[in-house]
């Protein structure tokens, strides 16, 4: 085995650029595993692996390949896991911490892509572009005023989460459309709010005052189902909901009922609790919903950048350096002890 052990990656790198950058890498032995591999091959791979790369998206990763207590018990030498994107829905962070395994992501790699997709959904919703397109394609008898929309300029956007993407969305909305931006994020300092020109508010105020409510936080036990019937009822009838973060943060079925009742006015949903959603999902039946299949961060540029981030971060880890995007920094001392015992 190579000096730094073996890295296994599930099915593919997020972009071929990663494979090109790793060409000639001698520090580790690399092995691709797939869902179709024989069971004994998979078991042997995890038994020996020190490093594991996988997708951030639950729909991409079958349950037996997700990082949780069961997988960690099968992987006694595992030291670090890395997800392709900013999300880490496929990794149980608490289980990693208990096992002394560091977890990293590629936060910021798809920053521009997700921020642009968010603005695109806001624009299409406010201009009612998709509704108009659907009616033009399937019927006659409407008049242009049936699709009267709204300007973004001067409106209020409420951001749930002011991390990398939320901060970029705030900057774009303020600079491009002179929008007032308010946000909820208990983990971000006041200086960051001031840097982006954003007002810190409670969830109640955010919902009541915003013309757009946009989700930019991770899915955690704290944020799961944080937007439900009561929250939608607080919103303006003219407001829109946008989610480009993670499924399971808002209650999709409660949202469908609220939209059918006329509050809020519409929604742009890129991420879903179950991906892809069933064809009979109630949100897909509504013309005032723009549905995309978790593609906000899927651009050529974003994928290349995340591949570069992943490669650079792995190389830092193999050199014994603390990685820049570690998700569970409290485990670092225990990780170092395990690393010394496993790699010498």
291 contacts 70 by C-beta, under 8 angstroms: no
Q: Write the DSSP assignment of 14-74 as a string of letters.
A: SSHHHHHHHTT--SSEEEEE-TTS-HHHHHHHHHH-SEEEE-S-GGGS-GGGSBSHHHHHH
Of these residues, 294, 325, 338, 339, which one is catalytic?
A: 294
Query: How many angstroms separate the CA atoms of 205 and 210, rounded?
Result: 8
Of these residues, 25, 112, 195, 275, which one is catalytic?
A: 275
Cα-based torsion angle of the residue sequence 108, 87, 197, 158 in order, rounded to the nearest 10 degrees: 150
Whether 275 is a known active-site residue: answer: yes
287 contacts 131 by C-beta, under 8 angstroms: yes
Return the closest-CA partner of residue 273 out of 298, 251, 240.
251
Of these residues, 117, 219, 246, 339, which one is catalytic?
A: 246
Tokens, residue 308: 């570069």
For tokens 């303020």, the residue is 174
Q: What angle do CA 83, 85, 88 make, to 5 degrees?
A: 55
Q: Which neighbouring-strand residues pair with 37? A: none
Whether 294 is a known active-site residue: answer: yes
Q: Write the DSSP assignment of 123-191 as a string of letters.
A: HHHHTTHHHHHHHHHH-----GGGG-----TT-EEEEE--SHHHHHHHHHHHHHH--EEEEE-TTS-HH
Count Cα atoms within 13 angstroms, Cβ side, for 231: 20
Return the closest-CA partner of residue 80 out of 47, 110, 104, 57.
104
Query: How many angstroms separate the CA atoms of 270 and 225, rounded?
Result: 16
Whether 117 is a known active-site residue: answer: no
Catalytic residues: 246, 275, 294
């Amino acid at each position: 085995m190579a000096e730094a052990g073996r890295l296994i990656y599930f099915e593919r790198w997020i972009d071929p650029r990663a494979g090109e950058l790793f060409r000639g890498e001698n520090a580790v032995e690399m092995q691709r595993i797939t869902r179709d591999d024989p069971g004994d091959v998979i078991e042997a791979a995890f038994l020996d692996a020190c490093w594991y790369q996988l997708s951030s998206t639950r729909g991409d990763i079958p349950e037996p390949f997700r990082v949780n207590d069961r997988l960690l018990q099968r992987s006694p030498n595992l030291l670090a896991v890395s997800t392709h994107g900013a999300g880490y829905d496929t990794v149980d962070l608490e289980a990693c911490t208990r096992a002394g395994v560091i977890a990293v992501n590629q936060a910021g790699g798809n920053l521009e892509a997700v921020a642009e997709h968010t603005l695109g959904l806001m624009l299409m919703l406010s201009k009612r572009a998709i509704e108009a397109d659907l009616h033009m394609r399937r019927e006659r008898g409407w008049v242009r005023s049936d699709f009267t929309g709204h300007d973004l300029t001067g409106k209020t956007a409420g951001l749930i989460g002011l991390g990398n993407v939320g901060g970029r969305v705030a900057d774009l909305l303020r600079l491009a459309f002179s929008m007032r931006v308010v946000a909820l994020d208990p983990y971000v300092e006041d200086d960051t709010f001031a840097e982006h020109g954003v007002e810190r508010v409670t969830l109640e105020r955010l919902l009541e005052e915003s013309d757009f409510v946009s989700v930019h936080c991770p899915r955690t036990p704290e944020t799961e189902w944080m937007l439900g019937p009561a929250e939608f009822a607080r919103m303006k009838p003219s407001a829109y909901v946008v989610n480009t973060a993670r499924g399971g943060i808002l209650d999709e079925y409660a949202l469908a009922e609220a939209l059918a009742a006329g509050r809020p006015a519409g929604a742009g949903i890129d991420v879903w609790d179950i991906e892809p959603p069933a064809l009979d999902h109630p949100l897909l039946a509504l013309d005032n919903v723009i549905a995309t299949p978790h593609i906000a961060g899927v651009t050529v540029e974003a994928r290349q950048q995340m591949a570069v981030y992943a490669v650079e971060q792995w190389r830092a880890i193999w050199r014994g350096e603390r990685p820049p995007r570690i998700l569970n920094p409290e485990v670092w001392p225990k990780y170092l002890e395990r690393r010394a015992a496993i790699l010498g």
